[in-house]
Structures are given as structure tokens and as C-alpha cells.
Structure 1
Amino acid sequence: MTDCLFCKIVKGEIPSTLIYEDEKVVAFEDINPQAPVHYLVIPKEHIQSAAHIDEYNKELIGHVFFIASKIAKDKRLDTGYRIVNNCGIDGGQTVGHIHFHILGKRKMLWPPG
């Protein structure tokens, strides 16, 4: 998708602070962190949102979570962390490319606050 912010990050057209990359996903620091540790993990393949996960990309989403777990271990988020996905406008999704937030290094509240 040519006008997608995250697709442009994947292509290197927009700079980001990458913390991980493989053939399927990239992870980078969030530019508006909501916790001392705040990373985004996104598939390189453009998927609009969680509502668009299907038979063809379900393994890719599993890989995203595997990498999120690996990053949490590598970054020593030993006391816990939160993985967040917002789906659709009413769900708080602001970029139309599925992405998962890893938040850590602070006590998480529920409801979020």
C-alpha cells in the first residue's frame, strides 16, 4: 500500500528506530511512548487490522507474537509487559496497518490509565 505510514517504514522511506527485523516483521520504538518501554511490532505484509486476519495470514500473526515475546525477553521485561492491539476507529486504531504495542517498565493498570 503506497500511502500507508507503516508500509513506508518497512520500505525504509520513513526513518524509525528499529529494534528488530526479519523477513516477516519489523519492530521499532514508538514515537509517542506511553510507557518507559514502548515498541511497535508490525508485519511487513500490509494487513489493515485484526478484523482482516484470515486463513492466509494467521501464521504471520502468530510470528508477530513470537517476536514480541522474544523482544520482551531480550529487553528484560522480566516483571511483565502489555501487548496491545487496537482494531478500527472505535477501537482506537490510528494507523491502518495492523500493529501491536509492547509496553513495559511500569505498573500497568486495568482499566488502562
Structure 2
Amino acid sequence: MGHDECIFCKIAIGQVLSEQVYADSDLIVFKDIRPVAPLHLLVVPRRHIPTLQHCESEDQELLGKMMLLAPKLAREFGYAYEPGSDKEANGFRVVMNTGPGGGQELYHIHMHVIAGLRPSICM
């Protein structure tokens, strides 16, 4: 699939609408259209990178930025990890699928931020 056909590239440039919750010059974050939990966000780089396997050392900052954004988003939506808390909404999951065996369906790297229940299956 070329960049012209990539749905995440189209979302990143505003060609396809999404329920966006965050955006900056490197990343966009929007709600998954097929959520598996009460909170299911996709953190997507604006730059097209097909899989995590395609990342190079120059992508280290971008990947770190994605990981550091996850807890901020979780906190914003009420799912921050609070040590010692017994509330059910205490934590979140981040998932990045890579390749067909890893469950990747769209070939533009993206990270799932999931919270609100504890699914028994891995994504």
C-alpha cells in the first residue's frame, strides 16, 4: 500500500475525519472506530512508517514521544495509574502490533492506548 492509500496518512492531513483528541507537529491521537475498551485511542505519527521493524535510530525520539504521551492521555481520560488506589480505573495498556503475526492490520505504525477494562486477550 502506498502512502496515498494509507488511511492514517489521510487522517493525519485531514483528508479523512477522526475523533481527534490530541495533535502536534509529529503525532495525532484519535479514538479508535472499533474500540475494545471504554478508552481506546490510537497514537499515530504523521510521518508514514510501515511497521516498528522499519524504525531506525533516528526514530528513537518519535517513539519515546509516543510512549511518554500515553500516560498523559490516560490521566486526561481518568485512567492514570495511581499506586495504592483500589479504583477499577487504575491503569492502562499500550500496544503496538508489528506484522501479520503480531496482529498489525494497518501498515502505518500506531500505538493503542487502552483502559477501562481488563481484556482477557492481547490485541
Verify same fold: TM over 0.5.
yes
Give structure 1 regions of 4+ aligned residues with deviation exceeding 6 angstroms: none
In structure 2, the partner of 1:101 is 112
Aligned residues: 112
- The percentage of aligned residue pairs carrying the same residue is 36
Pick which of 7-16 and 51-60 moved more. 51-60
Give the counterpart of 1:32 among 7, 31, 34: 34
Tell me the distance in 2 between the aligned counterparts of 1:89 and 1:61: 21
SS of alignment partner, residue 9 of structure 2: helix
TM-aligned CA deviation for residue 76 of structure 1: 1.4
Please show how residues 2-81 of structure 1 align to structure 2 within 5 Å.
Answer: 2-78=4-80, 79-81=90-92
> Which structure's residues are more often helix, by fraction?
2
Offset at residue 107 of structure 1 (A): 2.4
Query: Structure 1: any 5+ residue segments left out of the alignment?
Result: none
Does structure 2 conserve the Cα–Cα contact (< 8 Å) formed by 1:81 and 1:103?
yes
Structure 2 unaligned spans of 5+: 81-89
TM-score when scaled to structure 2?
A: 0.86
Asked if 2 retains the 8 angstrom alpha-carbon contact of 1:82 and 1:108, the reply is: no
Q: Give how far 1:108 is off.
A: 3.9
How much is the aligned-residue C-alpha RMSD, in angstroms? 1.4
The SS at the match of 1:56 is: helix
What is the TM-score when the length of structure 1 is the normalising length?
A: 0.93
> Structure 1 CA distance, aligned partners of 2:4 and 2:122?
33
Give the CA deviation at 1:89. 1.1
Q: Deviations over 1:52-109 (max 9, x none)?
A: 1111211111111111121111111030111011100111101010000011011243
Question: In 2, are the aligned partners of 1:7 and 1:46 still within 8 Å (CA)?
Answer: yes
The reply to whether residue 112 of structure 1 matches residue 122 of structure 2 is: yes
- Alpha-carbon distance in 2 for matches of 1:18, 1:112: 25
